[in-house]
Amino acid sequence: MDYKQKLWLIIALCTCAIGFSQQPQLATPLELEIKPVDSLPFDKTLIEPSLVPPTVLRLSPRRWQWKKVNKIGLDVNEVAFVNWNAGGANAISGLLKTEFQRIYETNKLRWNNELKARYGLNEQKGRELQKTDDHLEFNSTVGYRRDSSSAWFYSAKFNFSTQISNGYKYPDTDNKISTFMAPAYWYLGLGTEYGKKIKSFTLYLSPLTLKSTFVLDQELANSGAFGVKAAVKDADGNIIKRGRNSRTELGALITNEYNTEIFNNIKLKHKISLYTDYLNNFGNIDINWELSFNFKVNKYVLASIGSHLKYDDDVKIQKKNDAGEMVDAGSRVQWKQQLGIGVLLAL
């Protein structure tokens, strides 16, 4: 027997030994007594559900899920003139709109998060590029109700808003009147929210809401813009103490939203916020009211007309006096109106 044959024989013997060692050893046989089935205890409820009390079979499903909304839209307006004897200037404008929403919902808990942004530009022949819209906003509302059939939630609401780039009073583009985080507003409060049909109508009532105004641009803060305390200057105009970068208020907040389809493919969207400060000038109400009509052309094309009205008792509008100097003219109603047609993608 050569070397290879001996090697294969050893491997075979080892394999057999290992396989045999893994087999269970035979034990002494046991005697088992087999009884008829009728003599064993048997629970009929295992196969007859009708014998189980209804309270055991009744299930209470728990409803929970994350819902999401992703919308991106672009509105474009354009006018062009060629040998037009009535005159006119070529112009084009665009408005980019985004809206992202995440909603976590159970039978008793609802957490709604929204991120919205708008940015618009206009270019007209013979003029510099101008901004027509600029807004960045984040909202988060969490509500809890004791009974799933109740339409009222104990709620906490947070809101943050600012703008993205510098703002100017055109045609003066050398001196900005606002910028990112100047101003910026945030609200944080506790209250109750009515939301029986929460997708179409909500009413939030908060007797205790903290409002903070931030002006992080020091030049604007030194001038006392948006209600913050202005810088202290000497007789020569030198700054002795810099202006404050924030202002805090404590007051009551009421918000209301209403969305409905008033006609076929015509939707109305209304949102209003009313706030009054307990500590300073109680009764003077800050108003932020947005109203829009959306006209659906098809799945992607949408025309819209919108109105935005604001009044803030702390924001003073500046105007030129007879001497040509800029002076505070007091608080004024601010109003913006937009009309556009564009595309809207729901992702």
Question: Cα–Cα distances in Å, from 67 out to 100, 105, 110, 151?
Answer: 11, 8, 11, 20
Question: What tens digit of pLDDT does each residue of 7-19 get?
Answer: 455 455 445 444 4
Confidence of residue 87 (pLDDT cuts 50, 70, 90): confident
Question: Cα–Cα distances in Å, from 32 out to 29, 35, 41?
Answer: 10, 10, 18
Residue 31 located in a structural domain? no
Residue 324 located in a structural domain? yes
Residue 73 located in a structural domain? yes
| CATH number of residue 217's parent domain | 2.40.230
- Name the residue range of residue 131's domain: 68-346
Asked if residues 331 and 313 have their Cβ atoms less than 8 Å apart, the reply is: yes
- Segment among 65-74, 156-165, 274-283, 320-329 with least mean pLDDT: 320-329
Distance CA 196, CA 270 (A): 17
Q: Is 5 a residue whose pLDDT tops 70?
A: no
Distance CA 167, CA 227 (A): 17
Structure tokens, 168: 């100017």
Residue 307 located in a structural domain? yes
For Cα atoms 187, 190, 194, give the angle at the middle one, nearest 5 degrees: 105
For residue 6, the model assigns a pLDDT of: 47
Domains: count for the chain: 1
Question: What tens digit of pLDDT does each residue of 263-320 get?
Answer: 999 999 999 999 999 988 899 999 999 999 999 999 999 999 999 999 998 887 777 7
